[in-house]
Amino acid sequence: MDLMDAIDVRCSRRKYVKESIEDNKVVHLKNLIEKVNKEGDLNLQLILDDGRAFQSLKKSYGMFSGVENYIGLVGKNDKLLREKIGYYGEKIVLEATRMGLGTCWVGGTFDKDACTCDIKTGESLIGVIAIGNVKKNSSIKEKLISNLIHRKTKTVEQMYESKEEVPAWFKEGMKAVQKAPSAINKQPVKFKFENGIASARVNGDNEYEEIDLGIAKLHFETGAKGGKWQWGNGAEFIK
């Protein structure tokens, strides 16, 4: 499975089976997290066999079960933190999907006080990604929750604006964006193609939109098969 295959099959999973992640997969995840932390100047952390952050019904609203592992999304407080969390967190999500693991982005429906992440001075825990072994097919409850909280997916044309014909690589990038998870389930990232240059921005109406921006940028890069985004809201894509 390559990354585009992972984009196609990835879906949020909220019910996990109580068996530890295989040792070889743990090693791979830790190596990837170490790599993205160095590249993004982050402090993402893999927490294993500790599900206390998801055991409070009041916090999780009963939306999760069996969560024993998660990735703590920790980093230095700066204006790019949430965008980087989205970009690099989704990179880990897609790699986990390739390994056959289930994942789910989690913003507020977990107990922050029960998290055992090492948060240094000047850092914040932005959220977590639940991760672990899942049954092949989603449970009935998972499907019900998904139908309840998810929106109708926007068309590719609704997600960008351009007064000129867009190239094939842009269209492929947008198809990958269409399948990106959205922390607020509204696909708020708006892309633009003008004078041969692609850009992406969000309105910044809430704290999760910049996470969505980072996630969408990673999907676009993957679909476009080459090129690199600049950091920042409204930044350009260098093909």
7-25 per-position pLDDT tens digit: 999 999 999 998 999 999 9
| Residue 57: CB atoms within 10 Å | 9
Query: Tell me, what's the pLDDT at 205?
Result: 82
Strand locations in 147-211 (E): 160-162, 190-194, 197-201
In this predicted structure, what is the pLDDT of residue 48?
Answer: 98
Of the pLDDT bands very low, low, confident and very high (cuts 50, 70, 90), residue 145 is low
Say if 3-144 and 151-238 have the same CATH topology.
yes
- 214, pLDDT greater than 90: yes
Residue with tokens 């592992």: 69
Distance CA(215)–CA(61), nearest Å, equals: 25
Res. 141: pLDDT tops 90: no
Write the pLDDT tens digit of every residue in 84-140: 999 999 999 999 999 999 999 999 889 999 999 999 999 999 999 999 999 987 776
What pLDDT, on the 0 to 100 scale, is given for residue 109? 87
- Measured N-to-C along each axis, helices 168-178 and 209-224 cross at an angle, to the nearest 10 degrees, of 130
3-state secondary structure (DSSP) of residue 46 = strand
Task: Look at residue 63 in the predicted model and tell me its pLDDT.
Answer: 80
Q: In the prediction, which pLDDT does 24 show?
A: 98
What local confidence, expressed as pLDDT, does residue 153 receive?
80
What's the confidence (pLDDT) of residue 147?
Answer: 62
CATH superfamily of 151-238: putative nitroreductase (tm1586), domain 2 (3.40.109.30)
The span from the CA of 74 to the CA of 126, in Å, is 6
The pLDDT of residue 207 is 85
Whole-angstrom distance, CA of residue 222 vs CA of residue 93 = 13
Q: What is the pLDDT of residues 85-95, one digit of tens each?
A: 999 999 999 99
Beta strand 160-162 pairing with 190-194: parallel
Torsional class of 213: left (φ above 0), alpha (ψ -120 to 50), beta (otherwise): alpha
Question: Whole-model pTM?
Answer: 0.93
Distance CA 197, CA 239 (A): 8
Cα atoms in the Cβ-side hemisphere of radius 13 Å centred on 131: 28
Residue 145: how many CA atoms within 13 Å on its side-chain side?
17
Map tokens 């985004």 to a residue: 229
Summarize pLDDT for 36-79 with one digit per residue, the tens.
999 999 999 999 999 999 987 666 656 899 999 999 999 999 99
Domain 3-144: give its CATH code.
Answer: 3.40.109.10
Taking only the tens place, the pLDDT of each residue in 176-207 is: 999 999 876 789 999 999 999 999 999 988 88
Place of tokens 């260098």: 238
Look at phi and psi of residue 5 and say left if phi exceeds 0, alpha if psi is from -120 to 50, else beta. Answer: alpha
Domain ranges, ordered by start, for the chain: 3-144, 151-238
Judge contact between 10 and 1, C-beta under 8 A.
Answer: no
- Give the C-alpha separation, 211 to 106, whole Å: 11
